[in-house]
């Protein structure tokens, strides 16, 4: 039986979670089944048990599987209309009452989301006094983010020094210390179960400073912003009232 479309046995999920070091039960079962099926083909193994055995002994295969399940891709100015909104409306409004903006890219993958935000902050003349944080589930993504070397762009060492990076599981662990004026969490919750998504959204909302803004991906929304103490200011954008 293929993994896709099948209900994965709890034992299979637990075995692959242990072998990969990923909390597979927080990701949507259909997404996990799809990634297992692709991994079976890519690694040339016969079933989930054999895949788990492979992941335990083959570090490269383990990293491929982890990055595939966590969907570790991003892009420079990905979904550019959201960066236009940030530059034209969201940040200018925020900067009316925030002197030193604290911005957090939650689920930052390879870091390009935070670096794109840094460009916008620079254009607005506030980069030098901003605090920049990127966090992700996977340490291997943060290694790429910290290095700041991409095909499309290379980040200057001055900017690299300014950004901070933390490994964080935002479904089962705490948020970073402090309150944040701007949080981007785009294309992270779409791969999660509804319970994990609710937990993630609760963590993000609680981390917002008064007047702080949460930006979700362009296909995402909060199911009940009121319950989280937030109000929707435009599509995919939520604010904690001051």
# binding residues, ligand SAM (CB under 6 A): 24
Residue 75 CB, shortest distance to ligand SAM, in Å, is 6
Q: Is 116 near ligand SAM (CB under 6 A)?
A: no
Q: How far apart are CA 188 and CA 71, in angstroms?
A: 8
Query: Structure tokens of 150?
Result: 């991409």
- Of 38-46, 84-92, 184-192, 221-229, which part binds ligand SAM (CB under 6 A)? 184-192
Which of 32, 98, 145, 188 is close enough to bind ligand SAM by CB under 6 A?
A: 188
Q: How far apart are CA 155 and CA 148, in angstroms?
A: 5
Q: Is 14 near ligand SAM (CB under 6 A)?
A: no
List of long-range contacts for 225-230, beta carbons under 8 Å, 24+ apart: 228/201, 228/202, 229/205, 230/205
Supply φ then ψ for residue 86, to 5 degrees: -65, -45
Restricting to residues 60-79, which ones interact with ligand SAM according to CB under 6 A? 70-75, 78
Q: Nearer Cβ to ligand SAM, position 73 or 235?
A: 73
Q: How far apart are CA 9 and CA 34, in angstroms?
A: 14
Q: Is 198 near ligand SAM (CB under 6 A)?
A: no
Q: Nearer Cβ to ligand SAM, position 113 or 239?
A: 113
Q: Nearer Cβ to ligand SAM, position 73 or 129?
A: 73
Query: Structure tokens of 60?
Result: 């490269």
Give residues with Cβ within 8 angstroms of 107, minimum separation 6.
135, 136, 137, 170, 185, 186, 187, 188
Restricting to residues 36-65, which ones interact with ligand SAM according to CB under 6 A? none
Residue 17 CB, shortest distance to ligand SAM, in Å, is 13
Q: Is 216 near ligand SAM (CB under 6 A)?
A: no
What count of other Cβ atoms lies within 10 Å of the Cβ of residue 39?
Answer: 23
Which of 24, 103, 142, 170 is close enough to bind ligand SAM by CB under 6 A?
A: 170
Residue 176 CB, shortest distance to ligand SAM, in Å, is 11
Helix locations, 44-76, DSSP H: 48-57, 59-70
Q: Is 13 near ligand SAM (CB under 6 A)?
A: no
Residue 128, judged by CB atoms within 10 A of its CB (0-12, 13-18, 19+), counts as: exposed
Residue 166 CB, shortest distance to ligand SAM, in Å, is 10
Q: Is 171 near ligand SAM (CB under 6 A)?
A: yes
Spatial contact of 232 and 225, defined as CB atoms under 8 Å apart: yes
**Residues of this chain that bind ligand SAM (CB under 6 A):** 26, 70-75, 78, 107-109, 113, 136-138, 141, 168-171, 186-188, 217
């Amino acid at each position: 039986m293929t993994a896709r479309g099948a209900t994965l046995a709890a034992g299979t999920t637990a075995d692959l979670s242990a072998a990969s070091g990923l909390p597979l039960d927080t990701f949507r079962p259909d997404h996990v089944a799809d990634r297992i099926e692709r991994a079976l083909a890519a690694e040339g193994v016969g079933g989930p048990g054999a895949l788990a055995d492979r992941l335990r002994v083959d570090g490269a295969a383990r990293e491929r599987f982890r990055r595939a399940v966590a969907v570790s891709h991003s892009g420079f100015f990905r979904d550019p209309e959201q960066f236009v909104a940030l530059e034209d409306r969201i940040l200018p409004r925020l900067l009316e009452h925030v002197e030193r903006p604290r911005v957090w890219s939650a689920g930052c993958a390879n870091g390009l989301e935070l670096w794109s935000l840094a460009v916008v902050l620079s254009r607005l003349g506030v980069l030098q006094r901003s605090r920049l944080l990127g966090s992700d589930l996977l340490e291997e993504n943060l290694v790429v983010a910290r290095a700041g070397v991409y095909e499309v762009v290379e980040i200057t060492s001055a900017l690299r020094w300014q950004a901070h990076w933390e490994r964080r599981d935002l479904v089962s662990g705490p948020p970073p210390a402090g309150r944040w004026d701007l949080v981007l969490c785009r294309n992270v919750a779409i791969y999660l179960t509804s319970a994990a998504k609710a937990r993630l959204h609760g963590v993000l909302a609680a981390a917002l400073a008064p007047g702080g803004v949460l930006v979700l991906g362009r296909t995402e929304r909060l199911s009940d912003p009121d319950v989280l103490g937030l109000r929707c200011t435009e599509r995919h954008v939520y604010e904690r009232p001051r």
